[in-house]
Each structure stands twice: as C-alpha cells, then as structure tokens.
Chains A and B, each alone.
Chain A
Amino acid sequence: MSEAQNLDNKNQLDTATEAGISRLTPEKIKKVVDCVIKRETGVRFETYMQTCIHCGLCSEACHFYLSHDNDPHYSPAGKIKQTIWELIKRKGNVDRDFIRRAVRIAHTECNLCKRCALYCPFGIDIAYMMLVMRRILHKLAVTPLYIQDTAHSHSVTMNQMWVKGDEWVDTVQWQEEEAQDEIYNLRIPLEKHGSEIMYSVIAPEPKFQAQLIYQAAIIMNTAGIDWTMPAGVGWDNSDMAMYTGDNEIMGRVKRAHFEAASRLKVKKIVMGECGHAYRSVADMGNRWLGWSMPPVPVVHAIEFYYDLLKSGKIKIAKKYEKPVTLHDPCNVVRGAGLHEKARYVANQLCDKVVEMIPNREHNYCCGAGGGVINCGPAFKLSRTEGNSVKAEQLFNAKSRGAMTLIAPCHNCHSGLHDIVHHYEVGLELKFFSDIIYECMEKPEDK
C-alpha cells in the first residue's frame, strides 16, 4: 500500500477516490442514485425518510457530535441531511463536491454503531440509511482507497488481508508447533470433518497477530473442545465488503464461510473476538443470501468464553490483578446483547472490574468500527479527534482505578489503541483471550 496521505483537509480525499470523483458526470450520478433507490430500497427506506421529525434526540447519541462541541453537522440526522436525504430531495442531481463530502461523511464520520437508533423515538436505523449511501458510492466507484483494496482482497482470497492459501495453513501449523512447546500434544486440527466446532478468525490474526491463534489453541485444547479450522476459503469471518456497499462480494464471502462449516459438518461456528464479523455473519451477510438466521449457529468468543467458564471447562488459576474496564463492542452488545455475559467473563477473570460510564448498550463506539478505521491512516486524525468523548470516558474509568482496558473486538482494539495513544490515556489494552491465557489453569498446572 502506498504511503498514507494526510487528509486533514476535509475537501480532499485520497488520490484514488479523487480519481473516481473526477470521472463522475451529473448523468452518471443521477442514474446510479435512481437505480439504487428504485431497485434496492423499499418500504423500510421510505418509512425512515418520512418518519424523522428532526427532533435531534439522536444528536447526543453520536460520539462525533459530542466530540465536536455539539456541531450539528456531526449529528446523525445532520449527516443524513447532508448525504442521502439531500440526494433524494434533489433527485440525484448533485455535483462532484456533494459526492466528495458524502464520501467523507458516510465512510469516515459515521461508524454505523447504531447508538443513534437506540435514542431515536421512532427507532430509525440511521446506520442502514448510511449503508444505502455507501452502496451508492460503491456504484459510483468512489469508495476510499484502503477499504476498497480490502474489498478487493475479500473478492480474490475470501479474506481481508490478501492472505494466500499456503500462508494461512502455514501460519496455523506454525502456531500449532509453537504451542506444542507449552502443551506437548496440542493440536490445531485442520479439516477435521465432523468436529463439534469450526473456529474462524479474521485475517489480521494470521497476518499480524498470530499469537491470538496460539492462545485460542491453548484454550481449546485445555477445555477439551472437539474443534477444527478450515484449510481452504471460509476460515476468515470478516467482511469489509459489507461496509463498502459491495453486497455481492459480502454475500460471496459469507457463503464461503458457511459452506466451510457445512462441508466440515460441524454443529456450530465459534468466532474470535471480532464485532463486525459477527454482524456480517449473523445479520447482514446471511440475510443477503436468503438465510433469515445463520444456518449454522454462530457463537461469538464472549459467549464461548462464558460457556467455558460457567461449565468449568476452563478454570482460573489466579485472577488478573490489575483493575480492568470493559469496552462493550457495538456489534455484539447493541447488536447481539452479549453485555452481561461479557461482565460475567470479566468478573470471573479479574479481581476488579471498573464500569465505564456509560456502559452496556449505551457505551460509546470505539470510533474504528463500521469500516472507518479501514479507510486507512489518512483519516486517523479525524477519527481520533472525532472521538474525544471516548477518551474522556476512558480517563474517567482510569480515575476510578482502571489500569487495563478489555476490548473484545478487533476493530475496537485498534481504534481504542489509537485513542489511548492520541490522548495519552495510559491504559493497557487486552483481548479477553489475552487474560484467559494468562490466568487459566493449563494442563501442566493440573
């Protein structure tokens, strides 16, 4: 990937997106808008468009609004008004500058976190409206460079980081070997047909964070889980095409994931600590394919750890001593209601859990989700400055004793890492699996 541009100037996008914008004509814009609205939206879209009474209750739900001194341009309704609403009002007759601003808002100033939907008296799902906007931008070929490249990676490899077929298997086998130094007969069974569980991860794990596969293997082997990982496509549960509006690739990636599970004849899929992947597997991707619910039950890591601890399959040798605070990822808390299970896990693992305020389904987004961090380093500053309210929330938890920040989601982890460093919050970041691995009884301890 080429060196990142600095795009603090809001009237500028990355060069690839600018090139796309330069190719737009008024006719093309109108044609795409008409096509998407007519063929791909229906009652839901129309209802949302007509129901909003501009009450502004969504404003204070948005971390961008709160972090920009209540600037109404950053309120959810304000962002809709500057993008899809205006686009419809003008019947698609907008210019390149409008589209440039729409790219910036839809892709980098909204995390699709759905906190606004929680506070809307009518339950208007603004994230859905923003996804319609992104779909239009996809059809106009003006998706930001980094996330577009990620969608291309999905399309070729069915994973988000251009991990090749041999690299995936090689990395898993490498981690298996490493972990055998700790548990001599540990295995990461590849392609084991008829296992109870298929464990799937996101591509950053084999690419950059292979220790997470190692830790998962230690947990699985210690708990005596009958598990497998696919050796072919379908091992990656992530899906940035879901966020670029490339629904066809989203569906293709999700089909590969479920077909891997179906081919291996597993009873369920357990996925690592990733939020957007859960959304893609258990909400958007499955439904695009025609499954009302996941055809193979999908268990997020939080729920899996909850079951392991509750059933005693994993025992804690010594609790984690540093006080922790727990970040509730949007996609598995507002999206799947796992907040109490997350607290059970945290309290089982740690001596002291300091609640963030607000918390549970009211928690603030990390600022990275919804594909925003995937738009690349060019937008890092606007992303971190657009979430000073998160930093305040973290400072508050720290002032009440928290030293470690648990973020059971990859995007949250990365986003919070940037916030912690930008604002010099001084919290140590962990996944649940980091702490389980550190604190659990392992076979040699028994």
Chain B
Amino acid sequence: MTDKSAWDWDKGDKTIDTTGWSAQYKWVEELHAAPDGQTLAAVVNVDQGEFTVCVNATSWEKTFDKIWHLRFLNDGRLTALVSAMGQWTVAVDGSCWDNTFGFVWNPLFSNNGKHIAVAVQRDMRYCMALNDESWKTDFANMTYFALSPDGSKTAACVQVKDADSGQIQKFQKGTFTAAIDGKPWEQTFVNVWHLAISPDNRHLAAEVRLNLYDYTIAVDAKPWEQIYQSVWEPVFHPADGSVTAPVKSDGKWHMARDGKIIWNRGFVQLWRQRFSPDGSKLAAIVAPKFGRWTVAVDQELWAVSAKQMVTDLAFSPDSSKIAALFKSGGYWKIAVDGDLWSRKFDRVFTPVFSSDGRSLAAKVETKGKYTLVVNGKLWQQSCDMIWDPVFSPDGDKILIRFMKDGIYHRRIELTSNISG
C-alpha cells in the first residue's frame, strides 16, 4: 500500500480555485483529486476534437484526439487512456507508453500504484499489456481481466478455438480458457469468468462452465471434482493457498473451499466473500431468505438485515472489524460488526477504515449535498462534491478533499473533532 507518512498531515486548509478553468477551456470534465489531496485534475477540451488534461490549472503539454478514464494511481501519478491519429495508448503524467494499439480499455492498477495493466486490441486480436509490455500471444476474443495484487501478473479469459456466431455445437464443446501472462491453459471450457491470481502469483482460479448445465471452479486449469448448478467468483486465502467460492447445489448457495462445503447452511444468495487480511475470518454478503440481505461472518449471520441490498463489504486493515452498506426503503446505512449506525442517507460511498480499525469514515449524500460521516458522526460541512476520506497512518487525522462554490479544498482535521 501507499506510504502516507510522507504526506503533509499538518492541520489546515489548502485551496485551488477552479472557477477560471471553464474560461480557460471549451469544457472541463469530471474533477479528480490526488490521493494526497495536493493535486486536482480534469480532462479538458481545448478545441474541436482536441483534448488535454488540466492539473492544478496547468495543461499537459500534449494534446490528444480523445482522452478517457482519467484516474490518479495510489502513488499519486495521473493516468488516462488517450488516442492520437486513431491509435490508443496509456498516458502517465502526460507521457505516453511507447506502444500504441487499436484500442485500450479496462485499466487495472496495483494497490501500490506502480503497475498499470490494460486490455488491448490490435488488428482485431486481443491481449493484455502491463507497463507498456504486451503479451506475446494474442487471441480472437478476451473477457474478464485480472491483475495480481502485487501488479506483476495479468490474466484474462480468452478464446482459443474458433467458433463463428451460430456454431452452437462447436461453442458447447469449449472454445474459451484462461490465460496468465499470455499463456493459455490447455483445457478449454464453455465459459470462463472472474479470474483470481493467488497472492504468491503461482496459481490462477476461475469460474468455469463445463457444459450448458455444469459449473465448477478451476484452479490452474484443473476443475474441482464437484460440479454445481452455478458458481460465483473464487478468492484465494491470503496465506494457505486454498480457494473459496460460493457454489449452488440443490437450489441453495453454499460456501465451498477447494470443492468442499465449509459452512453448515445454505442461502438464497451468497456472494462477495472476503477474507480478513490476516486470513482468520471469512465474511460474505448473503440472503438468508428471499428479499432479505445481511452479512455472514464465518457462517454466523448478523442480526441486522436490509430489504434492498447489501454492498461494499470490507474488513479493516488490522482484521478486527467488518463494515458493509445496507439499503432499505431507498435509504442507505452503514453497518459495522453487525450494528447499524442510526443515520440514513440518500447515498453512502465506499467506507474507509483507519489502519488500526478504530475509525471508519465514508462520503455520504443527502438531498444532493455531500459530507462525511466519521464513526457515526457527521462532519458539519455541506459540500458540492467530496472525495473518499483518507486517514493518517495513525488514524488521528483525516484528509478531507472537497469542492465548495468552485473552490477545491484540501483540509486536514483531527478525527476526534468530527467523531467526538
């Protein structure tokens, strides 16, 4: 993860006035704030079919025919997908990769921000490119992309046998497989979805469909012996190399590890399973009955539930706490360790834990205005726009990045000033 200790954590407010940007350019697209809050950027149009990126009121030197998917990486670099003369590539802080392609999309970034992968198309053939280096093999079709947690390996579902539209028998014999760093598995499947690369980079797991009816998980091309009515995405255990996935059998969803059911009850739905960072706990979003949603931790259900949906299940970095978002009656609430915070909002964005798990904060929206909720308490500012909060390494301070009346603010607050 990013080392945030070198950031400026002195309490105070830094501003960037964006009110002149719209006069400087024909139009300004969405604003993006850097993780450390020091930089504000947007794709801007300078003339018909001519775009650049404005960073703290200064444009990149180069202009492009098109720019999209502008994002800050966790290391603070600014990246975008750019096109010039009909060729696409990746730009980082205004400099382009050497290689160009027919198209690039679906960028993936490593947690530390050092590695960038994209799906690429060249002459209607498909592969992945990582840090400006393409796979040596390309394929007729490619779906579902993955980047290893450390950013060193890429994987995708690829078509290795031809089957034209309408050749259903050929398709049903299996034309797809998974490839890692461009090397496809030897075994083919009817379908391959949702790849996971193991933390040690040695294994690749995927959902596979063996025929029109039988689903299972394949690890390094070898399907589990058990077959199911359906499966959802597999995850690797952080330490022991096992693979865990939701599987459906006898009409119920179960949690399975390496082909064996590990939770003693089934669910109407079960997905988004997560291991705690230390690997000691397994949590998932579940529907214990039709139209009722909650969280299960090591198969134990939280007492609270939501009628509409549960999302954004996450462990704290120290593995001590779990948070999720609960939606009922059109409103969102935050739940931590099975307790729902009392406040409800029109929208809650992905909650963020401090590294020690003591604090939790999230961007929230009520009636079109944004603020933060920190440990259940509201920050008493109403903003036109706010980004996800960032805690200092010790969790005592919080970086708040927000827009108000055209002015961008980078503010450092004591966490206790908001949460009490």
- Please list the residues of chain A having a beta carbon within 8 angstroms of any beta carbon in chain B: 1-2, 16, 19, 39-40, 138-139, 141, 145-146, 148-149, 152-153, 155-157, 162, 164-166, 169-170, 173, 177, 180, 184-185, 187, 189-192, 194, 231-233, 246, 248, 251-252, 255, 262, 265, 267, 287, 289-293, 295-297
Question: Are B106 and A165 in contact, CB atoms less than 8 angstroms apart?
Answer: yes
Question: Are B190 and A149 in contact, CB atoms less than 8 angstroms apart?
Answer: no
Asked whether B26 is an interface residue with its Cβ less than 8 Å from the other chain, the reply is yes
Asked whether B27 is an interface residue with its Cβ less than 8 Å from the other chain, the reply is yes
Tell me the B306-351 residues at the A interface (CB within 8 Å). Answer: 307-309, 311, 327, 330, 346-347, 349
Residues of B within 8 A of A173 (CB): 66, 68
A39 to B68 alpha-carbon distance, docked (Å): 48
Question: 4 shortest A-B CB distances, which residue pairs?
Answer: A292-B291, A290-B269, A295-B309, A1-B166
Asked whether B229 is an interface residue with its Cβ less than 8 Å from the other chain, the reply is yes
> Can you list 24 A-B pairs with a CB-CB distance of less than 8 A?
A1-B164, A1-B165, A1-B166, A40-B251, A148-B168, A149-B166, A157-B143, A162-B165, A164-B141, A165-B106, A166-B102, A166-B126, A169-B103, A173-B68, A185-B45, A190-B68, A191-B68, A233-B143, A248-B229, A255-B271, A265-B347, A289-B269, A290-B287, A291-B309
Which bucket holds chain B's interface residue count? 35 or more
Cβ distance A244 to chain B, nearest Cβ, rounded Å: 10
Question: Are B213 and A139 in contact, CB atoms less than 8 angstroms apart?
Answer: yes
Q: Which residue of A lies closest to B330 (CB)?
A: A297
Question: Are B191 and A231 in contact, CB atoms less than 8 angstroms apart?
Answer: no
Cβ distance B224 to chain A, nearest Cβ, rounded Å: 17
Residues of B within 8 A of A156 (CB): 141, 143, 176, 191
Report which residue of B69, B105, B172 has the largest number of chain A beta carbons within 10 angstroms of its beta carbon: B105
A128 to B48 alpha-carbon distance, docked (Å): 53
Cβ distance A147 to chain B, nearest Cβ, rounded Å: 10
Residues of A within 8 A of B142 (CB): 165
Known: A166-B121, A267-B346. A190 touches B215 (CB 8 A): no
Residues of A within 8 A of B225 (CB): none
Residues of A within 8 A of B229 (CB): 248
Tell me the B148-190 residues at the A interface (CB within 8 Å). Answer: 164-166, 168-169, 171-172, 176, 190
Q: Which residue of A lies closest to B104 (CB)?
A: A166
Known: A145-B166, A185-B27, A290-B287. A165 touches B48 (CB 8 A): no
Known: A164-B141, A231-B106, A248-B229. A152 touches B291 (CB 8 A): no
Task: Give 18 A-B pairs besides A149-B168, A187-B29 with Cβ atoms closer than 8 angstroms.
Answer: A39-B251, A40-B251, A155-B191, A165-B119, A165-B143, A166-B102, A166-B105, A173-B66, A184-B26, A185-B26, A190-B69, A194-B347, A231-B106, A246-B212, A290-B268, A290-B291, A295-B309, A295-B327
Question: Are A2 and B166 in contact, CB atoms less than 8 angstroms apart?
Answer: yes
Cβ distance A159 to chain B, nearest Cβ, rounded Å: 11
Known: A138-B212, A156-B191, A295-B309. A191 touches B69 (CB 8 A): yes
Residues of A within 8 A of B66 (CB): 173, 177
A162 to B69 alpha-carbon distance, docked (Å): 24
Residues of B within 8 A of A290 (CB): 268-269, 287, 290-291, 293
Question: Are B291 and A291 in contact, CB atoms less than 8 angstroms apart?
Answer: yes
Q: Which residue of B lies closest to A164 (CB)?
A: B141
Cβ distance B308 to chain A, nearest Cβ, rounded Å: 5
Q: Which residue of B lies closest to A3 (CB)?
A: B166
Residues of A within 8 A of B250 (CB): 39
A248 to B142 alpha-carbon distance, docked (Å): 22
- Please list the residues of chain B having a beta carbon within 8 angstroms of any beta carbon in chain A: 26-27, 29-30, 45, 48-49, 66, 68-69, 102-103, 105-106, 119, 121, 126, 141-143, 164-166, 168-169, 171-172, 176, 190-191, 193, 209, 212-213, 215, 229-230, 250-251, 268-269, 271, 287, 290-291, 293, 307-309, 311, 327, 330, 346-347, 349
Residues of A within 8 A of B45 (CB): 185
Residues of A within 8 A of B49 (CB): 177
A290 to B294 alpha-carbon distance, docked (Å): 12
Known: A166-B119, A248-B230, A290-B287. A19 touches B346 (CB 8 A): no
A169 to B68 alpha-carbon distance, docked (Å): 10
A18 to B311 alpha-carbon distance, docked (Å): 45
Question: Are A262 and B311 in contact, CB atoms less than 8 angstroms apart?
Answer: yes
Question: Are A146 and B166 in contact, CB atoms less than 8 angstroms apart?
Answer: yes
Residues of A within 8 A of B166 (CB): 1-2, 145-146, 149
Cβ distance A162 to chain B, nearest Cβ, rounded Å: 6
A326 to B212 alpha-carbon distance, docked (Å): 40
Residues of A within 8 A of B309 (CB): 262, 291, 295-296
Known: A166-B105, A170-B103, A295-B308. A145 touches B168 (CB 8 A): yes
Question: Are A267 and B69 in contact, CB atoms less than 8 angstroms apart?
Answer: no
A420 to B103 alpha-carbon distance, docked (Å): 41
Q: Which of the residues B69, B215, B307 comes within 8 Å of A231, measured between beta carbons?
A: B69
Q: Which residue of A lies closest to B228 (CB)?
A: A248
Cβ distance A243 to chain B, nearest Cβ, rounded Å: 15
Residues of A within 8 A of B30 (CB): 189, 192
Residues of A within 8 A of B165 (CB): 1, 149, 153, 162
Question: Are B106 and A152 in contact, CB atoms less than 8 angstroms apart?
Answer: no
Q: Which residue of B lies closest to A246 (CB)?
A: B212
Q: Which of the residues B29, B168, B230, B347 comes within 8 Å of A251, measured between beta carbons?
A: B230
Residues of A within 8 A of B141 (CB): 156, 164
Cβ distance A36 to chain B, nearest Cβ, rounded Å: 11
Cβ distance A151 to chain B, nearest Cβ, rounded Å: 9
Q: Which residue of A lies closest to B207 (CB)?
A: A252
Residues of B within 8 A of A162 (CB): 165
Cβ distance B184 to chain A, nearest Cβ, rounded Å: 16
Residues of A within 8 A of B176 (CB): 156
Question: Are A184 and B168 in contact, CB atoms less than 8 angstroms apart?
Answer: no
A106 to B45 alpha-carbon distance, docked (Å): 54
Residues of B within 8 A of A189 (CB): 29-30
A185 to B25 alpha-carbon distance, docked (Å): 11
Residues of A within 8 A of B27 (CB): 185, 187
Q: Which residue of B lies closest to A187 (CB)?
A: B29
A138 to B26 alpha-carbon distance, docked (Å): 54
Report which residue of B30, B307, B327 has the largest number of chain A beta carbons within 10 angstroms of its beta carbon: B30
Cβ distance B240 to chain A, nearest Cβ, rounded Å: 28
Q: Which residue of A lies closest to B288 (CB)?
A: A290
Residues of A within 8 A of B190 (CB): 155
Cβ distance A150 to chain B, nearest Cβ, rounded Å: 10
A170 to B124 alpha-carbon distance, docked (Å): 13
Cβ distance A179 to chain B, nearest Cβ, rounded Å: 13
Cβ distance A88 to chain B, nearest Cβ, rounded Å: 20
Known: A155-B191, A289-B269. A16 touches B209 (CB 8 A): no
A434 to B53 alpha-carbon distance, docked (Å): 35
Q: Which of the residues A1, A40, A169, A255 comes within 8 Å of B105, measured between beta carbons?
A: A169
Residues of B within 8 A of A191 (CB): 68-69
Q: Which residue of A lies closest to B159 (CB)?
A: A156
